[in-house]
Amino acid sequence: MKSRYLYPLLLGLLLAGCGDDNDSTPPEPPVPAAVHIDEADTVVLTVESFESETGMVEFSLKDASGAALTGASRYELVYFGLPAEGKASRNAKAWKRWHVTQSFTCNEVVSECQGKLTEGSSKGRYSFEAHGLDWSQDAPKDSLSRYRLAITLHGAKASSEMQFVADAP
């Protein structure tokens, strides 16, 4: 056999033996960078910062796969003002003067949203401004020294677990 026929024949046999591997699993689709909150089956809320005096809160929202959630607009935030440890009144009827709460809500039920929720330039990052937060509304002057926040965000299919945040003492 002539060598000029032998090389193409060997090359053809070599290429025929290199079939695709059917035993490998197909690659998983990439995780989306961002998902609208109404399409998410889970909402994971992480509070980044809380300024007790102004009520400013910064947080991020993700789904279970770690994709950023965009388009959040429904929320519930409740701010709590409390006296220093051991300084509460022993008079049961005085609890209103020693405990201040203010709520900020935006959902289908309320006609006007309270506060301002802003989505940041990074997908899934938000800030909330509590316009009208007044710690002195029902408490004696300088009676409050501890502040707390309860926050929940809602999508069409899921809501975040309520997060409780305390300011640094």
Domain boundaries, the chain: 34-159
Structure token pair of residue 7 = 């090389």
SS3 call for 6: helix
146 is written with which tokens?
Answer: 């501890």
Q: How many angstroms separate the Cα of 8 from the Cα of each of 12, 14, 15, 16, 17?
A: 6, 10, 11, 12, 14
Q: Please tell me the pTM assigned to this model.
A: 0.73
pLDDT digits (tens, 9 = 90+) for 41-79: 999 999 999 998 899 999 999 999 999 999 999 999 999
Is the Cβ–Cβ distance between 63 and 35 less than 8 Å?
yes
pLDDT at residue 141 greater than cutoff 60? yes
Let me know: does 69 contact 36? Beta carbons within 8 Å. Answer: yes
